[in-house]
Amino acid sequence: MNMGMYKKIFEDYVKNNKNEEDLNIICNQLDNKSDRNLIDRKNFTGHFTASCFVVSKKTNKIILVYHNFLKKYLQPGGHIESTDLNPLEASKRELLEETGIGIEKLTYYKADLLNELVPLNISVHQIPENIIKEEKKHYHYDLQYLFFCEEELDVNIDLGEVNNFKWVSWREFKEMSIYRNISKKIEKTKKIPI
């Protein structure tokens, strides 16, 4: 794993997203931490995770999976493993694990033409304490990547990770409060009719 990869991704992201308030939380960790520490799920200050949004061009629907622990529909994603080459690869792995959808059926949208590892969005959100996993309350800095497919794909969910899925209409998706920021960014790609 390259030393400083997450700092570089973050710095390149900030160049085009300077006005996002939550990013200050991440800045405090970047200077003094190794890449390994920045993805360590036992780092209870906060750590990077990776997820992806998959949009059907034909129906303008987005796939969401029902997260067993958080008890809500979210985009496929999760923790970055030390075996992942980078967070983009982690998002692809999580998508395959949770939905059975392989990358060969998708087109990746590059948010930054000079650095393909820069996500379309970084979402900073607090994760509640999980007594079962012995995890304290902490932050996730979710690197959110965007993919398109021609039409809604067949899904084969992993019941150990999630217990349901749905293709959500664009209108329903953008009205969900947690997706207001990312939905605006997806609309700016000009790939979704507004």
CA distances from 115 to 8, 37, 65, 101 (A): 9, 22, 28, 24
CA 159 to chain CA mean position, Å: 20
CATH C-level class of 5-189: alpha beta
pLDDT at position 71 is 83
Spatial separation of the C-alpha atoms in residues 24 and 27, rounded to whole Å = 5
Query: Hey, is 23 helix, strand or coil?
Result: helix
Closest by CA to 143, choosing from 7, 22, 10, 35, is 10
Query: Hey, is 9 helix, strand or coil?
Result: helix
Spatial separation of the C-alpha atoms in residues 80 and 21, rounded to whole Å = 24
Provide the residue-wise pLDDT of the chain in tens; the chain has 194 residues. 444 899 999 999 999 898 888 888 898 788 767 888 899 988 888 999 999 999 999 999 999 999 877 788 999 999 999 999 999 999 999 999 999 999 999 999 999 999 999 999 999 988 888 888 888 999 999 999 999 999 999 999 878 778 899 999 999 999 999 999 999 999 998 777 65
Q: Strands of the chain (E only): list them.
A: 46-56, 61-67, 72-74, 77-79, 107-109, 121-127, 138-149, 162-169
